[in-house]
Amino acid sequence: MSDDQTSTDSKLTTSKRRWAAEGKFLTGRISRPEAERLPPGQHLVKNWPVLDLGQQPMISIDSWRLEVRGLIESPLDLTWAAFQALDQSLKVTDIHCVTTWSRYDNKWKGVSTRDLLDQVMPKPEAHYVMLTSYDGYTTNLPLADFAAEDAILATSWEGVPLTRDHGGPMRLVVPHLYFWKSAKWLRRIELLPVDAAGFWEQNGYNMRGDPWREQRYSGD
């Protein structure tokens, strides 16, 4: 193991111990039996429907950047090469769209959100995340949800690079929330002390979006 790997592992171990001591990312959810894999009001599909705000930005790998800002110890401004140099993870998760379709067992590759957070080190007062995409789309979520064990900044789906219509070259995937929270074409991640509404949240949708509680709209 190289010195760089040793340093990274040590930093990761230290931060994970601190998170465990503080209960940093506990959400209070209970485990769901297999019979409840499909949330209420959802139906299964085999394809992957395309939904967006009417435009799909063209982002070259050479110009792509990801900023991480806000209440963190180490702000980042990553190029594509720097992002690819981070530890890569594989996840298999479901998708649940607020428009009532779900798709099981999607295979993702990319950077775990927990690994990214280990790089930037959130400050104690950071409790929420605001996501901003290249098309101007925004959405918000609690830091605990962003840091879920299976959440990933995905660059690959089913073994091939993520296509432009599905948010490529990189999108967020937070499987336990409705999929509008999983911002496509992600450009900026900002950690905040208090919650703030994103695009759909300003337009009648729930601030959190838990599919098993059917938190589709404001007031659900």
pLDDT value for 6: 35
Residue in this structure with the two tokens 């957070």, named with its chain if needed: 117
pLDDT digits (tens, 9 = 90+) for 187-198: 999 999 999 999
pLDDT digits (tens, 9 = 90+) for 27-73: 344 445 456 799 999 999 999 888 777 788 999 999 999 999 999 99
Cβ–Cβ < 8 Å for 185, 171: yes
Among the listed residues 46, 51, 146, 149, the one whose alpha carbon sits nearest the alpha carbon of residue 93: 149
Q: What is the mean pLDDT of each run of 10 residues along the chain (220 residues)?
A: 38 42 42 71 91 83 97 98 98 96 97 98 98 97 98 98 95 98 98 97 96 92
Q: How far apart are CA 32 and CA 115, in angstroms?
A: 26
**Domains and their CATH numbers in the chain:** 39-48+64-206 (3.90.420.10)
